[in-house]
Structure 1
Amino acid sequence: MSSASPAARPSPADEPRLDFVACASPAGLHRMAYWEWGDPDNARVLVCVHGLTRTGRDFDPLARALGREYRVVCPDVAGRGRSDWLIDPNGYVIPQYVADMVTLVARLNPARLDWVGTSMGGLIGLGLAGMAAVSPALRPARGSWGLGAAADVPLGRMVFNDIGPALNAGGLARIGEYVGQALGFDRFEQAVDYVRTVSAGFGPHDAAGWDALTEHVFVERDGRWVKHYDLRLAEPFALQTPEATAAAETLLWQAWDHLPVPSLILRGAQSDILTRDTARRMVERNPRARLVEFDGVGHAPTLRADEQIAAVRDFLLAP
């Protein structure tokens, strides 16, 4: 390891288990990694899915807080972290990610599935819930998750972390500026400084917090700290047209309006992705939803602060 290492890690007892599931795309098979906390026999499962350029390890603090009540599963979406990179970069889109999550949930076979999705992870969850709203095989019901005609997993509660059906063009353009940039640093501290710069919307964190937010998104290769993900995931992101974005928003609003489970919307008060107007419309259009905002935070709350973890925990575990 060159120069300096990330901050000291928790004890091994506080570390997650790593496993993989084989998923299919039109180009072939790929392995999706997932990090797992809690009792592997617990049929109450919480799936936590990260944002565009992040990894499942973003949810370490939240998973530790909920590991007694849930089997907490935090996948690395394809092209990120420990997961395989796709053969065809055109597969780095929400429909493929939803298909991968269906495969993962089939592996987990939960009696109840709750969901926490940050940014892109929220869109993936909304896509999955949209399938449940229109497909008899995926509607909330008692039983095990299968892919046949029988009723399957009961969807429980869903948390949408700083994301909604309306996609703010300005915020997306900001993210698009750095997604495909190839960067390398000689020292870990330089990578931390970069993350602090491009992720200012995460809000205030101490030095250990910024180290933790960096150590899984920059990895050491040949003596250099480089991005963990396939830079080609920026290609379909860059090809989005206003017409395609408008069509996607129409489908997302339809899924939101028919979301069959209670939902919690988390919003950074300074977010440029989930606007205050969109959050208001979400609550107005779906009576099962409620909104919590965090001052001093933009896109997106990292779910590391006590108040953020408490908001998610109280919602998921409420009677």
Structure 2
Amino acid sequence: MTAPATIVLLHGFTQTGRSWDPVVAAMGERYRALAPDLRGHGSASDLRPVGFGEIAADVLALAPARFALAGYSMGGRIALDLALRDGGAAQQRIERLTLIGASPGLRSAGERAARRAADDALAEQILSGGVEAFARGWAAQPLFADQPPAVAAAAHAERLRSTPEGLAASLCGTGTGTMEPLWERLPRLRLPVTLIAGERDAKFRALAEQMAELLPDATLHVVEGAGHAVQLERPDAVAALL
């Protein structure tokens, strides 16, 4: 009997690998799913340093010789960076890439500097106020508006699994302002890419459309009725696309 293919699932900021549980359950036995806690989160809250290179090394050490890779939001940015890092060396191991609500980074230096300053300020707020207060403020963003109550409750519980120090380190080390923009390198991504965005997530749906125009082999799926956290709101749809 042939062993199932492996898929590595990278969670978003404030989440842990557990956030993928509904998707993994919906996939059944079609894949061997690996959903690690990324540095700064959950069981990996204390791992330092937190950066794109360190997390890429963690993922490549965890994964088998060949694997599919999927990431949501921060996890999507990390997955994309991994696939393009070191001249795209990892593409020899990655069978296909799925990006959910993800961005290739901010194009201008001014935008990145402003975002870094905002993330640094938010990191200080997390350290001074604690995770509980931060989690409630984070959930109030328009990005997560109209989430079903059960999804919002699960997301809140996820946020409480990380430490203030871990989340602050993640913001400063893998925030959008810290990320090297990858727009110009997208045409070098030669593996199949699936882009997923929620119908209600206008910002990231537009980003996915722009990415699809630059990627050599991309398919875009807009999930009806979903917001930014598509894999939480529609795990069945995400499992089917994976």
Query: How far did residue 42 of structure 1 move?
Result: 4.0
Partner Cα distance (1:180, 1:275) in 2? 31
1:197 pairs with 2:134: no
1:61 pairs with 2:22: yes
Query: How far did residue 68 of structure 1 move?
Result: 1.1
Partner Cα distance (1:113, 1:207) in 2? 34
Q: Secondary structure at the match of 2:44?
A: coil
Larger helix proportion of the pair = 2
Match of 1:217 in 2: 159
Contact map agreement 2:151 2:233 (CA 8 A) in 1: no
Query: How far did residue 284 of structure 1 move?
Result: 1.7
Match of 1:10 in 2: none
Contact map agreement 1:49 1:122 (CA 8 A) in 2: yes
TM-score by length of 1: 0.60
One-letter code aligned to 1:159: T
Contact map agreement 1:163 1:273 (CA 8 A) in 2: no
Query: How far did residue 51 of structure 1 move?
Result: 1.6
Contact map agreement 1:45 1:70 (CA 8 A) in 2: yes
Q: How does 1:65-76 map to 2 (within 5 A)?
A: 65-76=26-37
Structure scoring higher RCO (CA < 8 A, sep ≥ 6) equals 2
Give the direction of change, closer, same or farther, for the CA distance of 1:86–1:304 in structure 2 (3 Å limit): closer
Match of 1:23 in 2: none
Contact map agreement 2:39 2:46 (CA 8 A) in 1: yes
1:234 pairs with 2:171: yes
Match of 1:164 in 2: 103
Match of 1:6 in 2: none
Partner Cα distance (1:239, 1:286) in 2? 20
Given the alignment, which residue of 67, 81, 84 partners 1:130? 84
Larger strand proportion of the pair = 1
Give the direction of change, closer, same or farther, for the CA distance of 1:67–1:275 in structure 2 (3 Å limit): closer
Query: How far did residue 55 of structure 1 move?
Result: 1.4
State the superposition RMSD in angstroms: 3.6
1:181 pairs with 2:125: yes
Query: How far did residue 253 of structure 1 move?
Result: 2.8
Contact map agreement 1:133 1:259 (CA 8 A) in 2: no
One-letter code aligned to 2:140: T
Given the alignment, which residue of 203, 220, 225 partners 1:291? 220
Contact map agreement 1:268 1:293 (CA 8 A) in 2: yes
One-letter code aligned to 1:303: Q
Partner Cα distance (2:148, 2:156) in 1? 13
Q: Secondary structure at the match of 1:215?
A: helix
Match of 2:41 in 1: 80
Between 123-132 and 50-59, the greater mean CA deviation after superposition = 123-132
Partner Cα distance (1:239, 1:207) in 2? 28
Partner Cα distance (1:165, 1:275) in 2? 13
TM-score by length of 2: 0.77
Partner Cα distance (1:283, 1:239) in 2? 20
Partner Cα distance (2:116, 2:199) in 1? 19
Given the alignment, which residue of 206, 212, 223 partners 2:148? 206
Contact map agreement 2:100 2:196 (CA 8 A) in 1: yes
Partner Cα distance (1:197, 1:83) in 2? 26
Alignment: residue pair count? 234
Partner Cα distance (2:214, 2:175) in 1? 30
Deviations 1:86-137 (A, max 9, x none): 34xxx322122112111111xxx25x411110122112212222248643xx
Partner Cα distance (1:64, 1:92) in 2? 29
Match of 1:315 in 2: 241
Structure exhibiting the larger radius of gyration computed from Cα positions: 1
Q: Secondary structure at the match of 2:153?
A: helix
Deviations 1:267-303 (A, max 9, x none): 2455476361x433321222411212346655x3241
Query: Identity percentage over the alignment?
Result: 24
Contact map agreement 1:47 1:72 (CA 8 A) in 2: yes
Q: Secondary structure at the match of 1:181?
A: helix
One-letter code aligned to 1:279: A
Give the direction of change, closer, same or farther, for the CA distance of 1:302–1:315 in structure 2 (3 Å limit): closer
Match of 1:305 in 2: 233
